Amino acid sequence: MKKVIFDVDTGIDDAMAIAYAVNSPELEILGLTTSYGNVEVEAATRNTLAVLEKVGKRIPVFAGAEKPLKRKTREGYAKNVHGEDGLGNVLDFQPQYSAESETAVDFIINQVKKRPHEVTIIAVGPLTNLALAIQKAPELVRLVGDVVIMGGAVFVPGNATPHAEANIFTDPEAAKVVFSSSLPITLVGLDVTMQTLLPRDKVEAWRGSEAGEFFANMVGFYHDFYESFRPGIGGCGLHDPLAVGVAIDPSFVKPTYIGVNVITEGEEDGRTVPNPEGEQKIQVCTEVDASRFLDHFLKRMPVIK
């Protein structure tokens, strides 16, 4: 089993990724760390606890960054995509449990030091927590097992802007810190996640249980958003779940090993630019076996039945 720290900013695709991860026997989730991003950090933490409760798992949650390294949070966060509550406006209960007292950054540092070369970090929100952790404890970069990041749009257009993907656009300085460190990174960006669409009828099949209704209603909101910005798209992007999929089975994707620069100003702010000459290279996923991944994801989702 891979020991995993799962860093989330729980909106709708994070929620699906959490359900997928905790129902995958290949992964042992040591803890979930949260940050602002799709919503405020308090809401992301609450949502993470609520999703765990819905899928019947008790895993510790650690609250993290409330804002980017050097900037303000984005106006309105990403509530147009994920709903006011971050979960498609379906959250109708307060979770029973609370976050732990240790901070996300300290949890990351302490776990990685305790288990050198064993911990996989899956990061599917802005990269603020990870950047803060390696700034506070630079030795982490040689102690982490590996890092799978949902973020970036290296060879394709962005989604937050025509150039930038949302997680990177939210804190480009943090992304720059992380990509220029010597962390062993696999980048699961829009290059591949926009090829893994979840059709609406698959989600309707989840109905019939309390948790199934919760997920189906939540993802329905996400489908409506996708349909509104690209009519006829026929599904929603499985961004964060694909990062979990790649951590479970790297053969879902094909990467290219290349440097990635992050633009931190101007019209292309937040853009991830391929840099073949870059000294610090990372695995950028460029191809995905979308149907095999989708089957795998859907088979693991009956956790909610």
Alpha-carbon span 21 to 65, nearest angstrom? 22
Q: Provide, rounded to whole angstroms, the least separation between the CB of residue 239 and Ca ion.
A: 7
Nearer to Ca ion, 9 or 171 (CB): 9
Q: Checking DSSP bridges between strand 27-34 and strand 281-288, what pairing results, if any?
A: unpaired
Q: Catalytic residue among 7, 9, 13, 85, which? A: 9
Q: Provide, rounded to whole angstroms, the least separation between the CB of residue 117 and Ca ion.
A: 26
| C-beta separation of 79 from 39 below 8 A | yes
Structure tokens at 165: 């993907």
Nearer to Ca ion, 78 or 258 (CB): 78
Return residues touching Ca ion (CB under 5 A).
Answer: 9, 14, 124-125, 240
Indicate the residue type of 252. F
CA 52 to chain centre: 16
Q: Catalytic residue among 82, 163, 223, 239, which? A: 239
CA 228 to chain centre: 23
Q: Provide, rounded to whole angstroms, the least separation between the CB of residue 83 and Ca ion.
A: 14
Nearer to Ca ion, 164 or 258 (CB): 164
Alpha-carbon span 93 to 76, nearest angstrom? 23
Alpha-carbon span 44 to 42, nearest angstrom? 6
Nearer to Ca ion, 242 or 262 (CB): 242
> DSSP 3-state assignment of 57?
coil
Q: Provide, rounded to whole angstroms, the least separation between the CB of residue 146 and Ca ion.
A: 19
239 a catalytic residue? yes
HEC sequence for 72-107 = CCCCCCCHHHHCCCCCCCCCCCCCCCCCCCCCHHHH
Alpha-carbon span 263 to 244, nearest angstrom? 26
Nearer to Ca ion, 14 or 85 (CB): 14
Nearer to Ca ion, 74 or 258 (CB): 74
**What are the two backbone dihedrals, phi and then psi, of residue 198, each rounded to the nearest 5 degrees?**
-100, 110
Alpha-carbon span 139 to 121, nearest angstrom? 15
Alpha-carbon span 278 to 51, nearest angstrom? 39
Return the active site residues. Answer: 9, 239
